[in-house]
Structure 1
Amino acid sequence: DEMGGFAQNVPVVQALRNPGMRDRHWDDLSKELRFELRPDDKFTLRDATEGLRLHEKATLEKVQKVTDRAMKEFAIEKTLNDMVAAWDDQDFEVMPYRNTGTGVIKL
């Protein structure tokens, strides 16, 4: 059944669509799977299914390991970017704190 065959590939396809996937993750994934994976305008699901055993549990586990890491790194990256944006227009002034030789930050 054609739909059944597609359905078993859905978890891998969803994992590969992770917006946090960077070149380093595709490199790691290609190494893990021993198959060159590079998303571009020409890359299709057929390309992946012909080169990989997407329906195998071991393949799914390898894909999830890399994509989970990518997702966590993406969350950290987004948080850092949000912090930079929030603090970017702030002016800080370091004021001496008593006679301690240290300073305090004044906004």
Structure 2
Amino acid sequence: MANSSVTLDEIFGALADPTRRAVVERLGRGPATVGELAGPFPMTLPSFMKHLKVLEESGLVMTKKTGRTRMCTLDRRRLRRLQTWLEHQRTVWSERTDRLEAFVTEPQETS
């Protein structure tokens, strides 16, 4: 399991690839085996495993091997960390655009 010092950069880096985003989206519906996750993608299993490793290192995905089966689950705490950051950015930019709108639409006093 990835340590708790994973940065937002690592999380965004993991989500930068469409294959990895699709895996996260699929795991949002519940746990799945590596084979189930790899099935829809036109790549070899070793190539898919590289994507899975990036997701594990970012802390977004956890895997547990039981016998010959490797089960993957989504760590929603990492997504909440990302959501918190995005909500903060939304607030900051909303306030900025509100101030810009007020500046543009309100009559300005002239000296």
TM-score range for the pair, normalised by the shorter chain length:
0.3 to 0.5
Q: TM-score, normalised by structure 1?
A: 0.37
Q: Indicate the structure (1 or 2) with the bigger Cα radius of gyration.
A: 1
